């Protein structure tokens, strides 16, 4: 299949919307990462998403709509707390899980009785949903297991020839996926940390739980592999001061390895490695979030044999950053302080 590389003009959006209406798959920008959209009510269209990404069928998709009122079309009810969350965070980097009324294709929800819904806060993403006049099932537009795409070029790299079109809307803003919150129980539960922080949610509804899988500390034992957000070279997280970091760089260089580093100022100015990718300043974690996936993909075009990454405080947006880094990493090197 030839993939149509589209700009974000009105005319292009019409072409993209026509693909969607014909049950084809189109990648589009959102404020978090690029999404891979298809008509959420069509089993045929949705199956093309799973095929293009190589995504396991038991991992459900988020349904994207352009207006809060549309949420009602796909759920049995909206509890009061959920409504508060919707009013505060949607549109935005926030996904709400509610009881499904069965109107979206069963492959979207992977057979669950719940459905995840999001309203992207991106003019192009929203305009596309409106133009197509369809709810769009859309996972991140990467090959399964790879870092999510934050530019159209990333999507092109992973999915050229496998999907009908890609709309280029420039680099995304937040850089990490939405926060996924299950609002079907009495107390909402964060299933995936993301662009909206736990603290922001607590300010609105008082209390929110973290899914138990997120509460465990996630240090990696050597060789342990999570098939998520993975760069081609193994990624090691390094917890420690610059001298400890340099010791690790020297250690791998002594084995003849080319060492890549993902870090922020001031650390990045205090160490020497073969290839460095600067993710901004440590006191601005939003910038780190925006650049993280870009950094992971950057090293695929280098000859780095191993990537060492700085770690960040596990709070505010740092919680989402560390969640992704832990999933991407094969090892975690800690300084004994």
C-beta atoms surrounding 187 within 10 Å: 12
Per-residue contact flags (x/-) with ligand TXA for residues 125 to 154, judged by CB under 6 A: -------------xxx--------------
Closest approach, Cβ 174 to ligand TXA, in A, equals 8
* Under rule CB under 6 A, residue 33 binds ligand TXA: yes
Question: Cα 336 from chain centroid?
Answer: 32
Among residues 32 and 330, whose Cβ is nearest to ligand TXA?
32
Using the rule CB under 5 A, give the single segment among 105-113, 137-145, 165-173, 305-313 that binds Mg ion: 137-145
- Residue 256 neighbours by CB under 8 Å, 6+ apart: none
* Under rule CB under 6 A, residue 49 binds ligand TXA: no
Using the rule CB under 6 A, give the single segment among 113-121, 157-165, 236-244, 271-279 that binds ligand TXA: 113-121
Q: Which residue is nearest to Mg ion (CB)?
A: 140
Closest approach, Cβ 118 to ligand TXA, in A, equals 5
Q: Would the CA dihedral through 315, 171, 278, 238 be positive or negative?
A: positive
* Under rule CB under 6 A, residue 60 binds ligand TXA: yes
Among residues 150 and 330, whose Cβ is nearest to ligand TXA?
150
* Under rule CB under 6 A, residue 35 binds ligand TXA: yes
Spatial distance between the Cα atoms of 131 and 239, rounded to a whole number of angstroms: 47
Using the rule CB under 5 A, give the single segment among 35-43, 60-68, 104-112, 132-140 that binds Mg ion: 132-140
Spatial distance between the Cα atoms of 305 and 292, rounded to a whole number of angstroms: 19
Through-space distance between the first and last CA atoms of the chain, rounded to whole angstroms: 55
Spatial distance between the Cα atoms of 66 and 30, rounded to a whole number of angstroms: 12
Q: Would the CA dihedral through 26, 28, 33, 38 be positive or negative?
A: negative
* Under rule CB under 6 A, residue 98 binds ligand TXA: no
* Under rule CB under 6 A, residue 117 binds ligand TXA: no
Closest approach, Cβ 258 to Mg ion, in A, equals 29
3-class state of residue 108 by DSSP: coil
Among residues 167 and 238, whose Cβ is nearest to ligand TXA?
167
Spatial distance between the Cα atoms of 278 and 191, rounded to a whole number of angstroms: 29
Using the rule CB under 6 A, give the single segment among 55-63, 162-170, 198-206, 295-303 that binds ligand TXA: 55-63
Task: Identify the H or E element spanning 15.
Answer: helix 10-21
* Under rule CB under 6 A, residue 97 binds ligand TXA: yes
Closest approach, Cβ 95 to ligand TXA, in A, equals 5
Among residues 119 and 273, whose Cβ is nearest to Mg ion?
119
Instruction: Of 129, 139, 81, 80, give the one whose Cα is nearest residue 108.
Output: 139
* Under rule CB under 5 A, residue 140 binds Mg ion: yes
Range list of β-strands (E), the chain? 4-6, 26-28, 35-39, 62-64, 94-99, 114-118, 136-137, 165-167, 179-182, 189-192, 209-210, 235-239, 259-265, 275-281, 306-310, 331-334
Written as one string, the DSSP assignment of 128-193 is: HHHHHTS-EE--BSS-TTSPPPSSHHHHHHHHTTTSSEEE---S-SS-SPPEEEE-SSSS-EEEE-
* Under rule CB under 6 A, residue 177 binds ligand TXA: yes
The position carrying tokens 């580093």 is: 261
For residues 182-211, which are near ligand TXA according to CB under 6 A?
191-192
Among residues 40 and 329, whose Cβ is nearest to ligand TXA?
40
Which residues of this protein are in contact with Mg ion, per CB under 5 A? Answer: 140
Which residues of this protein are in contact with ligand TXA, per CB under 6 A? Answer: 30, 32-33, 35, 59-62, 95, 97, 109, 112, 114-116, 118, 120, 138-140, 177-178, 180, 191-192
């Amino acid at each position: 299949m030839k993939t149509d590389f589209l700009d974000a003009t009105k005319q292009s959006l019409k072409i993209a919307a026509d693909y969607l209406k014909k049950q084809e798959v189109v990648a589009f920008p959102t404020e978090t990462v690029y999404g891979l959209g298809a008509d959420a009510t069509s089993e045929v269209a949705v199956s093309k998403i799973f095929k293009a990404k190589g995504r396991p069928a038991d991992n459900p998709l988020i349904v994207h709509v352009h207006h809060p009122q549309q949420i009602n079309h796909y759920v049995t009810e909206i509890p009061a707390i959920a409504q508060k969350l919707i009013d505060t965070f949607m549109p935005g980097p926030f996904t709400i899980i509610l009881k499904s009324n069965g109107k979206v294709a069963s492959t979207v929800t992977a057979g669950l009785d719940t459905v995840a819904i999001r309203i992207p806060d991106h003019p192009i993403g929203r305009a596309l949903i409106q133009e197509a006049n369809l709810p769009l099932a859309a996972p991140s537009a990467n090959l399964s297991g790879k870092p999510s795409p934050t530019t159209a070029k990333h999507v092109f790299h992973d999915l050229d020839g496998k999907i009908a079109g890609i709309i280029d809307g420039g680099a995304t803003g937040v850089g990490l996926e939405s926060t996924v919150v299950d609002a079907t129980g009495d107390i909402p539960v964060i299933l995936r940390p993301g662009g909206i922080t736990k603290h922001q949610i607590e300010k609105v509804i008082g209390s929110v739980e973290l899914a138990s899988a997120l509460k465990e500390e996630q240090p990696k034992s050597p060789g342990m592999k999570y098939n998520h957000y993975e760069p081609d070279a193994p990624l090691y997280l390094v917890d420690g001061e610059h001298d400890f970091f340099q010791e690790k760089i020297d250690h791998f260089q002594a084995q003849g390895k080319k060492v890549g580093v993902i870090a922020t100022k001031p650390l990045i100015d205090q160490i020497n490695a073969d290839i460095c990718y600067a993710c901004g300043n440590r006191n601005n974690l939003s910038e780190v979030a925006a650049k993280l996936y870009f950094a992971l993909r950057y090293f695929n075009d280098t000859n780095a044999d191993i990537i060492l990454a700085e770690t960040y405080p596990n709070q505010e947006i740092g919680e989402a950053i560390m969640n992704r880094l832990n999933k991407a990493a094969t090892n975690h090197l800690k300084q004994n302080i």
